[in-house]
Amino acid sequence: MPVHDLGYRTWRGERAAHFLRPLVVARAGIALVFKRRWLRIMLVLAWLPVLFPAFGIFAFEYSSTEPELQDMIVGLVSRPLQQPELGALIRNDPEAARHQVWSTLILMFFRYPQLFAMVALIGLIAPLLVSYDLRTKAYLMYFSRPLSPTQYIIGKSAVIWCLLGMVVTLPALLLYGMGVLLSPDLSVVQQTWDIPLRIFAASFVLLIPTTTLAILFSSLTAESRYATFCWFATWALGFVAYQILTFSPAAMSGDRPRRRRGPVDWEAMGVDLDRWRLLSPYHTLGKVQAWIFGLDTTSASVIPCVVLLVAITVVGFWIVRRRILARLSV
Amino acid sequence: MLDHAWPQQSRAIRDSIGYLPEDDCYIAGLEGIESVTLMAQLSGLPTGEALRRSHEMMDFCGFGEERYREVESYSTGMRQKLKFAQTLVHDPPLLILDEPTTGLDPDQRLSMLRRIRNLATQHGKSVILSTHILPDVRTVCDHVVILVAGTVRVMDTLENLSRPVEPTMHLSIMGDPQTLIDRVSSAGHSVRWNAQTGTLTVGGIAPDQTAQLWSWAAETETAVRRLEPAVNSLEQIFMDVAAGKKTSGSTQEIAAGLHAAGLDPEADRAGP
């Protein structure tokens, strides 16, 4: 017997409160996914797009002293971001334009690079969470402890929330912080105090339904590849279906958007951007996030999109919970 | 249950139970020590204490350096030991062990049974052992419950179940047993000689009456190599109960019924 083998000894100590147990699941899950090298590389790569809005904010804050940077930021918001009015405002009254410029750049960061990063990250990580537990019957280990299915789901979801927070919320907050530090004085905080709150709200909208959907797919099968396929198929098919159904009438009528400065007037061409929006998770999220940042440009109400996201969350959670309870039933 | 109300305090109850599932279950990607630590933390042990306690339990379960390997690379026996360490790590007063010796080689199986017995006798653990390996039951258990199709058919102490209806002794005889057979028969006891095993079975003699047998052996100058009380075989009890020879009754009635049902106390013997 080794000298350090003390045999069996009893243990009497203070135990952690039951409501803290999901944190253990989350911490273990995070430690587990961080063991994967490809994930660490992906996280670094997911941070790279923050350079573009960072440069935009930098250019805006120095536009008053550097005419070249002013031309650059005006060009950026007028053409790629299709907001010529904002470009004019930057030239005429930069102080008044600050809130909208920052919001636009951060929304752009949320909408384009980080949404795609989110889809890729969750698609690769989420199936590992519940599917693997089903395959290896690890749920027997989890639920032999004082852990409820709800706590288990929260713990597993928190793994994704943490990773998404790292690639979406944290860089967006850093962007805001960088903007404050680059601005002439701290009075800009008074103008832009709501932007961090909007960042949190937009992150919440992004994290909760998408995580629930991913966990749902993961819980439906012990084969993680099927869950991965379903996840990517949902986003890709939704995106393609929306594009085809929304823009095919205009394309078939032969109308082409006229080349001019500013946003394309789709409504004038008979295109209803909101009619098929609920088919596409990408566009549904985009509508709600744009509304949160006060930059929603389409006429339809945001409520159907919010209802859809809430429905995905509630129904998804219910199904996952039922799946787990079914596994535990004799 | 365990001084807790069911189902209101089900979490506190689960904190007090160590469950070893029969299924091969593990958390993919974790090392052995991480798996045990995770279970300890899920049972509420603080992080540092969970790690310390996990090492202690892995030592107790016979793990060496392999505790730092990923669980997927473990053999079936090692996974079984790992599950046992996870079962014990939070020091539960009640252990529910479902087929704990599955996949273990003979010496590991013996070690596992010794650990279980040790936990019950030295550390006051209550152990519920679910198994189809009946010799394990005889090694570890004091009480036996036999379930058939989810229904309790037998529930009694192992001692009671093992006891034949009529006290019976088995004698291993060297040489000719005939004079001893005649002497015992003349005293009114039933005697049966098994020439193949060289065993004489004497009915109506309790273990505390063996002096009588020794005196008859001395009287007839018969050499007795071994003498032991007969016990019912669990295998036979299990098969008879499963076959529905006795299907109802209270605990004691069931046990008594087994005797009355014609389980032959002379049919089997405990091991040497």
Residues B47 and B103 in one domain: yes
No. of helices (H) and no. of strands (E), chain A: 15, 0
Contact between chains at A8 and B88 (C-beta distance less than 8 A)? yes
When pLDDT is averaged across residues B110-117 and rounded to a whole number, the result is 92
Residues B67 and B157 in one domain: no
Residues B28 and B128 in one domain: yes
pLDDT at A262: 60
Supply the range of the domain harboring residue B238.
Answer: 143-163+232-263
pLDDT at B271: 31
Q: Is B130 in the A-facing interface, judged by CB distances under 8 Å?
A: no
pLDDT at B259: 44
Mean pLDDT for back-to-back runs of 10 residues, chain A (330 residues): 72 89 93 90 90 90 85 85 83 87 90 88 87 89 91 94 93 92 86 93 94 93 90 95 88 66 68 88 93 84 94 96 85
Give the residue from A34, A145, A156 with the most B CB atoms within 10 Å of its CB, the best one to mutate: A145
- On whether the CB atoms of residues A23 and A147 are closer than 8 A, the answer is no
Residues B105 and B53 in one domain: yes
pLDDT at B257: 43
Count how many domains chain B has: 3
Contact between chains at A141 and B27 (C-beta distance less than 8 A)? yes
Q: Which residue of A has its CA nearest to B10?
A: A146
Q: Is B73 in the A-facing interface, judged by CB distances under 8 Å?
A: no
Q: Is B111 in the A-facing interface, judged by CB distances under 8 Å?
A: no
Answer whether residue B10 shows pLDDT above 90.
no
Question: Starting from the edge strand earliest in sequence, which strands make up the sheet with B223-229, in order?
Answer: B191-194, B199-203, B168-174, B223-229
Asked, for residue B193, whether it belongs to a domain, the answer is yes
- Residue B111, domain CATH: 3.40.50.300
From A13, A132, A141, residue closest to B45, measured CB to CB: A13
Asked, for residue B109, whether it belongs to a domain, the answer is yes
Asked, for residue B271, whether it belongs to a domain, the answer is no
Q: Which residue of B has its CA nearest to A139?
A: B25
pLDDT > 90 in chain B, percent? 36
pLDDT at B267: 38
Buried/exposed A42-71: b ≥16 CB within 10 Å, e otherwise: bbeebbebbeebbebbbbbbebeeeeebbe
Contact between chains at A141 and B91 (C-beta distance less than 8 A)? no
Confidence of residue B252 (pLDDT cuts 50, 70, 90): very low
Residues B258 and B151 in one domain: yes
Q: Is B42 in the A-facing interface, judged by CB distances under 8 Å?
A: yes
Asked, for residue B241, whether it belongs to a domain, the answer is yes
Contact between chains at A140 and B56 (C-beta distance less than 8 A)? no
Compute chain B's Rg from CA coordinates: 24
Pairing of strands B223-229, B191-194: unpaired
Confidence of residue B174 (pLDDT cuts 50, 70, 90): confident
Residues B136 and B237 in one domain: no
When pLDDT is averaged across residues B178-201 and rounded to a whole number, the result is 88
Instruction: Supply the mean pLDDT for chain B.
Output: 84
Q: Which residues contact B76 (CB under 8 A, 6 or more apart)?
A: B24, B102, B103
Give the phi and the psi of residue A145 in degrees, each rounded to 5.
-100, 165
For residue B190, give the amino acid letter. S
Asked, for residue B5, whether it belongs to a domain, the answer is no
Task: Say what the pTM is.
Answer: 0.81
When pLDDT is averaged across residues B114-138 and rounded to a whole number, the result is 90
Q: Is the peptide bond before A249 cis (omega within 30 degrees of 0)?
A: no
Answer whether residue B266 shows pLDDT above 70.
no
Residues B127 and B220 in one domain: no
Length of chain A in residues, anyone?
A: 330
